Chains A and B, each alone.
Chain A
């Protein structure tokens, strides 16, 4: 915890890693409308230099786009249409609740680095980047960042969120968080949700909000190595397990049988989350924090089409 407080924002992304990220862009499986002109081709016809099509002139069209050469040859008025280039809205929502502070390395650090990396990629590609953190409620938001200039601001924001999440106590409520997020984020765009998804509420209700047409959603589930293999994390014997979020107590006598059952449950739970995401068109990925961070970003996220 102390380490988190003193973690400099620069440690989230090393310069070398930033260079590797410069070559990547956030990809969207859908062609989405942005607010400002950007680097991304839009479905809309607009004012770029790239010709797209012709159409017949109708009264009221801008006379500047009439193709006079064609009129001369055909004696008909045609309007020249150009490709419109728009910016892409990238929303990064990462979980900083107390459960994310579990594990070695802690899941929240991993989530922060993921958010920083994706935000960095979004900003260097002139996408509209919004960053949200949440625990039991939406804790912080940094919306509508664009361009390289707010990168330090974004990193600082991300670095600060873990402490805010650590101070929150209470059961997570992902459903409420995502509901509030969808109310605030009316824009189309890519949404990346990073969490451990250990939510005692109904997960399907929460993911329902990401299934909106305007979102191209990605769900990244983070697990601590101690959660994947509790025995290795010292969870064995007669224990009084305390839930870091809501202080719920479970008195268990952990033996191999229970460990086996737990692992089966974890696998089933991950499959359950995967199925819920698939049903709602959300791309899902699970990883544990022992996997090197650059491998996740540079390999797994590219393989799943989030980065390209």
Chain B
């Protein structure tokens, strides 16, 4: 039971109770009267008071009743709230968050365990509270993806074992996935109708579901069961690596630039020692002082950027780890697998484009071979694959088949399904500008398209899936990257709707930057000589021969079989380093998985969930529903008043 206004109740109690007691114990002014003997009077009093303990109680019975009456009124004044443990409907869905932030140890032992305990307690209530018609309960766990751990059942033992089976993960939170999973049950209703009123969805989470998610639940009652202890001073006891990248210097491939960001979510400045290890060998320790939460901008963590330069001729695993003991350990270290330096081999298919040739040549490449379209078509797919080209660039030439390697096309598109470069409508000879571009894509890094003018209003038509628009002009998408899909597995193809010579782009710096980005990111797969790391929830594809089985061991065991030239491993659940002893090209013998998720590292519990349009506030920390029960106290006080009146009249014989 909690109180809405406990202070007011306490103040009133501090005044009223001593006043009542002192009033009661004030001597009654009695009329003095002489009698022949008090013998019979005392005997009469004794007869009314049966025995000594009861005598005392009875003497003060009215006081006792008045104190109870007063206490009830004061309790009512304090606004008591009864936390109803559970009010199961016919159907209940327990949605349990198993994301990375649920591993925080601010609840003992972890938030996930606390959530499971509370869910188990709820199951206990369904077991005892509704024995006539036990409610059906379903258990869903979610992190990056949602899973039905136990379909609807009223078998308590099944439900308990299902809840206990939920394991922690280091994946990000995706409540929308969970709501999508729950939605059909909410809409359908138990009896086939569409009311869904009999459905209660209890979400056990710390509320850290990330921004940009719009989970919806169109029917049913949603209750947010908040897990995690909010610190009174705000903030959270966590220092986390929120990003890490390693990149080889283009001019000096042996030099590796390492960037990492450390974030402090507590309200105090924190000093940490960051230890660098390379393949398990410590190479340095640095001290970093992190500003407190909100020091740079409100509600934002204090961030320190760490930057190192390593000389690393070959592949290695770099690990950064801080020594601050906090509530979440999975974000205390990051590991990056640094691939050996690799230079791309480029095949340029063109009828002659000096701008393009020079831009490619100026990039950091191993070799470039220039072919005319006719020469290119003279090679078949196998020959091209064996020719060890990492990237093919088509300049205003549409190849007959999708190349077996990454490609970059200007003014044409490889015959990928659904990808068409559309010419402007007849008679429309207007030029167009780029309206927006995806600045955070590696291909568009430092590419500024403000002054980019295209002579015609061409645009791209793209498939629904597998395509990412990199730049959009007035007519529509003009630059996009498309997965090779089944036509050319594991390849990426950058297409543009415009021919280079119909734009002013070759004359601008951004073109050289774009070509350089393309040389760094295309053709080299995911390696490119840069650091490789994954996040929990990611799926890694490792180059391998068909039929080859790869087994990685680490925090969990991952196994996959080669198919179409790659091994697709199961989703990463836990952070850490996964290694394989199977035959695989470097740097794929080690896979680093890092949390680097500011949302998960921010352990401050959210007081409410935004589901649909209405935010759902956390109902309670320990129990589910709260109900104001001051009326009960008022009724009890009235009953006590009646009892007191009866006692008084009985005593006085009125």
Asked if A and B are interacting partners, one says: yes
| Residue A238 lies at the interface, judged by CB distance under 8 Å to chain B | yes
- The CA of A258 and the CA of B650, in the complex, are separated in Å by 11
| Residue B133 lies at the interface, judged by CB distance under 8 Å to chain A | no
Q: Which residues of A contact B41 (CB under 8 A)?
A: 241, 250, 252, 262
Q: Are A242 and B37 in contact (CB under 8 A)?
A: no
Q: Which B27-48 residues have a C-beta within 8 angstroms of A?
A: 28-45, 47-48
Q: Which residues of A contact B654 (CB under 8 A)?
A: 255-256
- Nearest A residue to B48 via CB reads A261
| Residue A249 lies at the interface, judged by CB distance under 8 Å to chain B | yes
A interface, over-half SS: mixed
Q: Using A200-B39, A257-B652 as known contacts, say yes or no to A102 and B34 having CB atoms under 8 A apart.
A: yes
Q: Mark A236-270, 1 if CB is under 8 A from B, else 0.
A: 01111111110011111101111111100110010
How extensive is the interface on chain B, given as a class?
20 to 34
Q: Using A251-B30, A257-B651 as known contacts, say yes or no to A244 and B45 having CB atoms under 8 A apart.
A: no
Q: Are B48 and A242 in contact (CB under 8 A)?
A: no
Q: Which residues of B contact A248 (CB under 8 A)?
A: 38
Q: Which residues of B contact A68 (CB under 8 A)?
A: none
How extensive is the interface on chain A, given as a class?
35 or more
- The CA of A239 and the CA of B40, in the complex, are separated in Å by 15
Q: Using A240-B30, A253-B652, A257-B653 as known contacts, say yes or no to A99 and B47 having CB atoms under 8 A apart.
A: no
Q: Are B33 and A227 in contact (CB under 8 A)?
A: no
Q: Mark A190-214, 1 if CB is under 8 A from B, else 0.
A: 0000001010100000000000000
Q: Using A250-B41, A258-B48 as known contacts, say yes or no to A227 and B36 having CB atoms under 8 A apart.
A: yes
Q: Are A252 and B653 in contact (CB under 8 A)?
A: no
- The CA of A256 and the CA of B652, in the complex, are separated in Å by 7
Q: Are B36 and A262 in contact (CB under 8 A)?
A: no
Q: Using A243-B38, A244-B37, A249-B38 as known contacts, say yes or no to A258 and B44 having CB atoms under 8 A apart.
A: yes
| Residue A235 lies at the interface, judged by CB distance under 8 Å to chain B | yes
Q: Are B33 and A239 in contact (CB under 8 A)?
A: yes
Q: Are A103 and B36 in contact (CB under 8 A)?
A: yes
* Chain A min CB distance to B123 (Å): 57
Q: Which B11-34 residues have a C-beta within 8 angstroms of A?
A: 28-34
Q: Are B44 and A238 in contact (CB under 8 A)?
A: no
Q: Are B36 and A196 in contact (CB under 8 A)?
A: yes
| Residue A146 lies at the interface, judged by CB distance under 8 Å to chain B | no
- The CA of A99 and the CA of B650, in the complex, are separated in Å by 32
Residue among A103, A239, A249, A256 having the largest count of chain B Cβ atoms under 10 Å: A239
Q: Are B653 and A250 in contact (CB under 8 A)?
A: no
- The CA of A107 and the CA of B37, in the complex, are separated in Å by 13
Q: Which residues of B contact A235 (CB under 8 A)?
A: 33, 35
Q: Mark B423-467, 1 if CB is under 8 A from A, else 0.
A: 000000000000000000000000000000000000000000000
* Chain A min CB distance to B42 (Å): 5
Q: Are B30 and A239 in contact (CB under 8 A)?
A: yes
| Residue A224 lies at the interface, judged by CB distance under 8 Å to chain B | yes
- The CA of A202 and the CA of B32, in the complex, are separated in Å by 28
* Chain B min CB distance to A181 (Å): 22
Q: Are B31 and A244 in contact (CB under 8 A)?
A: no
- Nearest A residue to B45 via CB reads A252
- What is A's interface to B at a CB cutoff of 8 Å? 99-100, 102-103, 107, 196, 198, 200, 224, 227, 234-235, 237-245, 248-253, 255-262, 265-266, 269
Q: Can you list 22 residue pairs at the A/B interface with Cβ under 8 Å?
A: A100-B36, A198-B37, A198-B40, A224-B36, A239-B30, A239-B33, A240-B30, A241-B33, A241-B34, A241-B38, A241-B41, A242-B32, A242-B35, A243-B36, A243-B37, A250-B42, A252-B41, A252-B45, A255-B654, A257-B651, A258-B48, A261-B44
- What is B's interface to A at a CB cutoff of 8 Å? 28-45, 47-48, 650-654
Sample of 12 more A-B contacts, CB < 8 Å, known A107-B36, A265-B47 = A100-B36, A227-B35, A234-B33, A239-B33, A240-B33, A244-B34, A245-B36, A252-B45, A253-B28, A255-B653, A256-B653, A257-B48
